[in-house]
Structure 1
């Protein structure tokens, strides 16, 4: 959801360019607020919390509250049950969403998502921008998501890193060691081999991206690394919350690891990325702004396309474990080494 919210925030920058005096509000899940905090193009945030998520009464009350705002336009990017209901009850004259045959009656405008990217931005960007077509006079420009840190946040994170003996004059890499779930997490023993290869190639300082309740799994990766690699890992240096992670990442030279929110956030901070995609995720949707230099990614389909012959990706989610086992570090390391030469 963090990646979805961050990517959707580009709509506000486009809208502000053409509707200078409009009130632009963003309804988001409460825990994603940190990635859009301080966004200068958004006037108000409406936070969707666990109460609305678990109670239909609370959801209905939120929908009634939103109706009192008397919005002229509602754009439903996610199009799930809760946003369908809120859109239906909003009272907005114009309601826009992606096309689903079973919900299209709710909206005044629905648009079919593209399947093949037309630009370097990728499908996640392109499909969101097309939602603005019914209300824009001209084609929306391609815009990259941005995260807005304060100078104080950047300075505090700098002092935090210095206090832990991080040399900010030397290369510093963030490793996204864990995905958002098991079926989006590169096998831990394989990830350790990837980190070994990074250190052997570059001798860089390494940080791990994890939250406190993920420490056992992150520690497993650390323990699986070679002793000489472990000397380069500052395991106990990590962000205690999302904003601190963002501020720390701002000082890194690259983020490497599992596809997901961390990669999207690094790109929004203008940090170079190397992304390992889950075997069942559509790479074309989320390899945003990949240029082969600053942003590089790899998918099992890139190195073993025969596995996917006549098989829809979404049907392979159940086979994630088996497919990951086939995605050997040896298949990734050559492309990773080429990426590292530019760092």
Structure 2
């Protein structure tokens, strides 16, 4: 059995979509399960026991249709038995077009599209979270009598040497592992998902004063200036560490693996924290829904959105920023305090 799963999206979506790969591997333990991703996301899925191969699409291949189709052609020569096109765009559908021998070619139902699919799956209702929606794409197998092992808990593991290397670098940067280590997500790839920076600074101060902890401001190379400015505006508080530059998404994963609890803006790194399974509490922007992005009934990973604070008719009359500011640092602090009950270091110090 050979299975191909195609997902062209960013970090958070790729992590959530991996529940399909994991469920298929649990259903078919001897199957070869391959995952197609953009090249900046692909390294994150190396060394995962539910994947046999991670196939990356480079930026050059993304932009050049001839190189892209050549890549798709070469990949599909493996003759997969099942091809799942999660993205379901004209571009990603090329994988099912060229996989003529596949018994199952599954994609999302969209008007005037998906002619190469054997099964087109309607978009599930909003009662399901993202991970549950992705698993609905396995319905054709279930309908054919396959005992599919549906597993909505996504996970990622990192090598001991990766985690040990980051731990060493963290110590060199001044991290004291006797304290609670909190990676604080102060930034986001999308500006609209960045919690007002003055409120985030106030939240950082309150967390530092409340708990025996250190805060790590992680960042990619192009986010360094933002993080350093944040630290400077907090008078270079020595309890904040801003000298650990994660050069890759795997380095960020290894760093988070050495931390105790994740706090801050919702986004790809928060999903990464959940995949590693350190407790997390996230702040959702007015344009996002925690119902979509958080796993249901999982108390280790929770969040807050503006509508949790104000849900009456006056909410719609507020500006975007006014909605965001409904989430005060004190409200977040109280939620973080509750989440600390899941942190061993906090429990030991009580």
Residue of structure 1 in register with 2:188 after alignment = 179
Closer/same/farther in 2, CA of residues 223 and 115 from structure 1, 3 Å limit = farther
- 2:90 matches 1:81: yes
Closer/same/farther in 2, CA of residues 10 and 342 from structure 1, 3 Å limit = closer
Deviation for aligned residue 1:325: 4.7
* Residues matched between the structures, number: 330
Residue of structure 1 in register with 2:268 after alignment = 261
Match of 1:25 among 34, 59, 62: 34
The alignment partner of 1:90 has SS state of: coil
Deviation by residue 1:269-327 (Cα, 9 ceiling, x = unmatched):
110101011211222111125534x222001121122369799xxxx9xx755643554
Residue of structure 2 in register with 1:284 after alignment = 291
Counterparts of 1:168-247 in structure 2 under 5 Å?
Answer: 168-225=177-234, 227=235, 230-247=237-254
Residue of structure 1 in register with 2:338 after alignment = 338
The alignment partner of 2:182 has SS state of: strand
Match of 1:132 among 132, 138, 141: 138
Counterparts of 1:8-87 in structure 2 under 5 Å?
Answer: 8-87=17-96
The alignment partner of 2:115 has SS state of: helix
Distance, in Å, in 2 between the alignment partners of 1:218 and 1:249 is 17
Distance, in Å, in 2 between the alignment partners of 1:322 and 1:303 is 12
Residue of structure 1 in register with 2:99 after alignment = 90
The alignment partner of 2:91 has SS state of: helix
The alignment partner of 1:31 has SS state of: coil
TM-score (norm 2): 0.85
The alignment partner of 1:82 has SS state of: coil
Distance, in Å, in 1 between the alignment partners of 2:175 and 2:75 is 47
Distance, in Å, in 2 between the alignment partners of 1:104 and 1:172 is 47
Distance, in Å, in 2 between the alignment partners of 1:189 and 1:261 is 22
- Alpha-carbon contact 2:38-2:58 (below 8 Å) kept: yes
Deviation by residue 1:30-69 (Cα, 9 ceiling, x = unmatched):
1112221101221222211111221222222223223322
Task: Name stretches of at least 5 consecutive residues in structure 1 with no aligned partner.
Answer: none
Deviation by residue 1:199-222 (Cα, 9 ceiling, x = unmatched):
121141110121121112112322
The alignment partner of 2:92 has SS state of: helix
TM-score (norm 1): 0.87
- Alpha-carbon contact 1:132-1:140 (below 8 Å) kept: no
Task: Name stretches of at least 5 consecutive residues in structure 2 with no aligned partner.
Answer: 1-9, 344-350
Deviation for aligned residue 1:95: 1.0
- Alpha-carbon contact 2:270-2:282 (below 8 Å) kept: yes
Distance, in Å, in 2 between the alignment partners of 1:290 and 1:239 is 32
Residue of structure 2 in register with 1:329 after alignment = 329
- Alpha-carbon contact 2:27-2:148 (below 8 Å) kept: no
- 2:307 matches 1:297: no
- Alpha-carbon contact 1:275-1:297 (below 8 Å) kept: yes
- Alpha-carbon contact 2:310-2:326 (below 8 Å) kept: no
Distance, in Å, in 2 between the alignment partners of 1:310 and 1:72 is 49
- 2:281 matches 1:271: no
Deviation for aligned residue 1:16: 2.0
Distance, in Å, in 2 between the alignment partners of 1:270 and 1:78 is 26
Aligned-residue RMSD, C-alpha: 2.5
Deviates more, 1:162-171 or 1:243-252: 162-171
Closer/same/farther in 2, CA of residues 224 and 163 from structure 1, 3 Å limit = closer
- Alpha-carbon contact 1:185-1:278 (below 8 Å) kept: yes
